[in-house]
Amino acid sequence: MTKTFLSAKNLYKSFDGRKAVDRVSFSIRTGEIFGLLGPNGAGKTTTIRILSTVLEADRGDVIIGGYSIRENPDAIRSLIGVCPQELALYEELSAVDNLVFFGRMVGLNGREAKAQAAARLKLVGLTGRAKGRVDKFSGGMKRRVNLAVSLMGHPKLLFMDEPTVGIDPQSRNNIYRTIEKLRDKGMTILYTTHYMEEANRLCDRVAIIDAGRIIAMDTPLALRSRIGPPEQVTLEDVFLKLTGRRLRD
């Protein structure tokens, strides 16, 4: 049986009295790609911010790689990489300078940071543009740099918050292939997305979250089977059935 790498227990977080995350519990096994799906404002990003030690939960705890987030957040930071929803890059600098800087921040020495930066840029298909300024890059290239930065320091667990939003099919496909390569190497990934076909393709299991609560959690196949023959039902059908067709803010 595969070992659990992340275990979230009864996470609760509110902002000005509004529940953002409400008793969320789930676990992710080592080497698993776990999808967190939900409409806008469902609590996906808040959950990732809690898991990545940026926000403190009002209640509940998270164990990652055997460390409690409340007791040893520094140890957890040494295990994780975060690919945020918004591009988090120094656009005045080159791609390689961004990677090297964040590499140094996760504890690599100068030589390691340069070597890893070269390897990560190769992985995302940007070797030829390593020294180009990020502000001159297309949206897709920036997304790929964003992903490459999150891989600096060999994280064991990667949080990917909607990494393919607003990019062209070629860059999206490159990111899919990168994620698949990471999975093949045994990396554990928590993945949030609005694109159901992407979750269906990449995720071993998915949890659907709405209004801060997990309302379903299973493999994509098992979820599709819940409402009909899986070959005729899409994950989007399941998603809309569970979360409703009401427009969200």
Partner 1 sequence: MIKPLLVALHEIRIYLRDRGDLAFSLLLPVVTFALMYGAFGGQDTFHSTAHVVNEDQGGAYSNLLLERLEEEDSLEVNLLSAREADSKLDRADLLLVLYIPHGFSDAVASSEQGQLVFKQRGNGGDEGQVVASIVRSAVDELAQEFQVHAQVSEALEGTGVGQEQINVTVEQLIKEERQELTVTVGEETLGGRTDPVEAFLPTIVTMYVLFAVTLTARVLVEERRRGTLERLLTTRIGVGQLFAGKLLAFCSRGFIQTLILLGLAYAVFQMFTPLSFIQSLVIALVFIAAASGIGLLISSVARTEDQATWIAVVFTMTMVILGGTFFEIPEGGVMSVLSKISFNTYANDALKAIINEGSSLADVGMQLAVLAGVALVALPLGRLLFKVLPGGR
Position 80 contacts partner 1 (CB under 8 A)? yes
**In contact, 88 and 146? CB cutoff 8 Å:** yes
- 212 exposure class (CB count in 10 Å sphere: 0-12, 13-18, 19+): buried
Position 49 contacts partner 1 (CB under 8 A)? yes
Residue 164 vs 200, nearer CB to partner 1: 164
User: Which of 67, 90, 176, 195: binder of partner 1 (CB under 8 A)?
Assistant: 90
Task: Please compute, for residue 7, the number of CA atoms within 13 A of its CA located in the half-sphere on the CB side.
Answer: 9
DSSP state of 216: E
Q: Which two tokens stand for residue 235?
A: 């994950």
SS3 content of the chain, % helix, strand, coil (to 5): 40, 25, 35
Position 74 contacts partner 1 (CB under 8 A)? yes
Position 158 contacts partner 1 (CB under 8 A)? no
**Which H, E and C letters describe 12-34, residue by residue?**
EEEECCEEEEEEEEEEEECCCEE
Residue 91 vs 180, nearer CB to partner 1: 91
Position 52 contacts partner 1 (CB under 8 A)? yes
Residue 93 vs 222, nearer CB to partner 1: 93
Q: What number of chain residues touch partner 1 (CB under 8 A)?
A: 29
Position 4 contacts partner 1 (CB under 8 A)? no
User: Which of 96, 149, 151, 179: binder of partner 1 (CB under 8 A)?
Assistant: 149
Candidates 17-25, 32-40, 72-80, 166-174 — which segment interacts with partner 1 by CB under 8 A? 72-80
Residue 89 vs 202, nearer CB to partner 1: 89
User: Which of 6, 21, 89, 235: binder of partner 1 (CB under 8 A)?
Assistant: 89
Position 77 contacts partner 1 (CB under 8 A)? yes
* Alpha helices, H only, the chain: 44-51, 73-77, 95-105, 110-123, 139-150, 169-184, 196-202, 220-227, 235-243
**In contact, 6 and 189? CB cutoff 8 Å:** no
Position 78 contacts partner 1 (CB under 8 A)? yes
Residues that bind partner 1 in the complex, under the rule CB under 8 A: 49, 52-54, 74, 77-78, 80-82, 84, 86-93, 97, 101-102, 104-107, 133, 149, 153
